[in-house]
Structure 1
């Protein structure tokens, strides 16, 4: 019990821990009040509330000098060590328990003063001489008491050590979770950056191919409009000639009729070839490219941060396939 009591002494106040007991990241324990005092001494300029430090700061563990960094909750953000608190309660109950000598259930006037080793129960001398334990092996209560006490103390100390190790494992697991979340955010950022680069290439390719369609559209429309103007001018000239011819037909005087020159020949004008307005040569089929796009995945087994785009396909082909896949609806509705 003396060894156990030493394990329950606070390194600050040098008294037995008082509730609540907080456990530091280095697995050492302190009374919360002592932790608050050390914290406040290390952070004298931080604000306090009701005499207790609640804002974030840092201090060093008085047992191992490990730096303890606290969040905005201050010492109230530290976990309580409920196992140590329970051990303290049991220790105090044992220390405060009155010295009482229980009486034998069979021989009510006899005190329990020996221990039956055979059955593992305390008993009285009368039970050993005349009672149920007369053929059993017995031992003095004091020797068995010290043995059992030592075993219990060792077991409690082992539980305390196991609790500290378990708390350390929990801290490591929590750190692993934080590392996983941070690594995930970083990898998502890298993936998005690489897709953004592909999108920029696709946008450029979209503008380039759309411009080709636009250029041919303007060329053909300008040609048709120019041809329309020529036909309009010729029609206007033809109407004038037609009007002159009609007037000449009405001339009764032969000499005057023969003096008038009316040109009724049809001038040759260009004609639009059949299918000239068609833009069918810009048709595309993206079934293969769409299938290839759906096979995009991460590189397996190389531990890199790059994505595998169709595995062995060249990047230029990948970009072209991405363009066809994403912008197919645009060209089909042109």
Structure 2
């Protein structure tokens, strides 16, 4: 129980006493054991040890602890400790006894104010004993004449202290459990952050991988289109060459036809015979040489450029994440390398199309 000055009645003679029983370090009532310094000032042993070990935040200037020394926080008197440290300081039993008396006197008025519970069966009787057998608080009449006359009983104060201690232990257990839950919640929060960070990294990795695959596909597409365009150009050039040859032959044949028609229309046998034999020979030679090169059957089709994407499509569909975690480090390395080999195979297949 804290005995802060703000909960003590004003104009109470105990106010002045309480001020004398306040530790200058923790600003609470002295806690046993109380040690007395050589300068006759008092400190809680724990506070004295804190000052000796590492200083105290309530004191504006830090305490020197080198060489087994420290200064009294009240008068700044130097306190020299022996090899026992603060445990070598003498206990102030007088102050401890005064604290006990003060606490007893202070607690009495509060007890008078308590609304003491009454027995349900004996309305005029206060609940003043505890039935150990039935584990319930009851009154004296219940013990003498009532349901608890054959039970083992104990004073309320004894059971009160026991159960209060037990309840305090339960409270400590709950506090420890809450601290553990808070720690777990903190870990789970960090876990969520780690999941988000790792997920983002994997997303970036997948985007990077598919970006690389897209780049390879674009390069391969451009190469294939270029090959088709080249074949188209070669075929069209070949057709244009044939067109030029056939046009040339057509022009020659037309000229011979014109000459032959003119020869047929010439009057006189002698004139005709002078030119007919030579003209017939030219026509025969031209007819023999009219067998020009032709295109093959299906020349106009581009069937040789039909893409076989089934295996590539299957590789893309089979892309996935490796599952399972192996305990052995070597196995983990193999699992990690598996996707890379699949990706490399896909890239090689894309390049080979």
The reply on whether 1:318 has 2:346 as its aligned counterpart is: yes
The reply on whether 1:213 has 2:228 as its aligned counterpart is: yes
CA 1:123/1:100 → structure 2, altered by over 3 Å: closer, same or farther? Answer: same
The reply on whether 1:256 has 2:271 as its aligned counterpart is: yes
Task: Map 1:203-282; keep pairs closer than 5 Å.
Answer: 203-260=218-275, 262=279, 263-264=282-283, 265-266=286-287, 267-268=289-290, 269-282=292-305
Residue 227 of structure 1 deviates from its aligned partner by: 1.1
The aligned residue for residue 154 of structure 2 is: 139
Counterpart of 2:131 (choices 94, 116, 132) is 116
Where 1:115 maps in the other structure, the secondary structure is: strand
Counterpart of 1:156 (choices 171, 185, 188) is 171
Structure 2 Cα separation of the partners of residues 2 and 234 of structure 1: 125
Residue 292 of structure 1 deviates from its aligned partner by: 3.8
Structure 2 Cα separation of the partners of residues 292 and 310 of structure 1: 13
Contact 1:227–1:270 under 8 Å retained in 2: yes
The aligned residue for residue 197 of structure 1 is: 212
Structure 1 Cα separation of the partners of residues 186 and 128 of structure 2: 49
Structure 2 Cα separation of the partners of residues 259 and 129 of structure 1: 171
Task: Map 1:61-80; keep pairs closer than 5 Å.
Answer: none
CA 1:96/1:153 → structure 2, altered by over 3 Å: closer, same or farther? Answer: farther
Q: How many residues align?
A: 234
Where 1:308 maps in the other structure, the secondary structure is: helix
Considering only CA atoms, is the larger Rg found in Structure 1 or Structure 2?
2
Worse overlay, 261-270 or 186-195:
261-270
TM-score normalised by length of structure 1? 0.60
Where 1:298 maps in the other structure, the secondary structure is: coil
CA 1:105/1:201 → structure 2, altered by over 3 Å: closer, same or farther? Answer: closer
Structure 1 Cα separation of the partners of residues 130 and 269 of structure 2: 164
From the two aligned structures, give the one with the greater helix fraction. Answer: 2
Q: Which runs of 5+ in 2 are unaligned?
A: 4-26, 29-109, 326-331
Counterpart of 1:296 (choices 310, 319, 322) is 319
CA RMSD of aligned residues (A): 3.3
Structure 2 Cα separation of the partners of residues 193 and 278 of structure 1: 39
The reply on whether 1:101 has 2:116 as its aligned counterpart is: yes
Structure 1 Cα separation of the partners of residues 246 and 113 of structure 2: 126
CA 1:103/1:293 → structure 2, altered by over 3 Å: closer, same or farther? Answer: closer
CA 1:215/1:96 → structure 2, altered by over 3 Å: closer, same or farther? Answer: farther
Structure 2 Cα separation of the partners of residues 188 and 289 of structure 1: 23
